[in-house]
Amino acid sequence: MNLYLRYFDRETLVYSPDEAIDFLSTIPEIEMSPDLEADIREYADSDVLYPKRYKVRPRVYFIVIKTEAANMSDFKQKKALRSNNNEVRKDAPPLLARLNEEKPGWYEGALDFKRVVLIPSTGKHEYRDTHYVAHCKAYSGQDCYNRIVDYLRTRVDSRSQFPSAKGKNFKFRYLGMWK
């Protein structure tokens, strides 16, 4: 696995943690310490695939990205995308298809939303994360979402914020056909 490093307009693709450390040592703003060297080596050897950023000073970072690209042009053209992630995406049904699939019956919908509540001691309002679960009759996951949100809109402050049905803050499952 190779490493792509970037600090503002300085960037490189290296093939080992030692080369990454050498590149970072050439940048005067980045202070190489034994802890930073050890962390870069640990990141390179780990199974972690997400990019990592390191703080240089407040609001200034350099990034390190693991890649299978053999050279910089392959990395820039995104030719070295990990195939195992693409396989997972092909096997899993798309969320939008599951959400709109017509299947009348009972659904359990769980919604995490920002609810506006009054604080009696100060007389001010604040947003509170609220988890709400309901069982309802619906024709699809989208219908379940719409019914839950319509119900909540009549019972909470109008400034409350509801997430999208397509996001991670709404989950549903089909419980079975109604009688």
pTM score over 0.95: no
Question: What is the SS3 string spanning 97-109?
Answer: HHHHCCCCEEEEE
What pLDDT, in 10s, does the model give residues 95-141? 677 888 898 999 999 999 999 999 999 999 999 999 999 999 999 99
pLDDT in tens, 145-179: 999 999 999 999 999 999 999 888 999 999 988 76
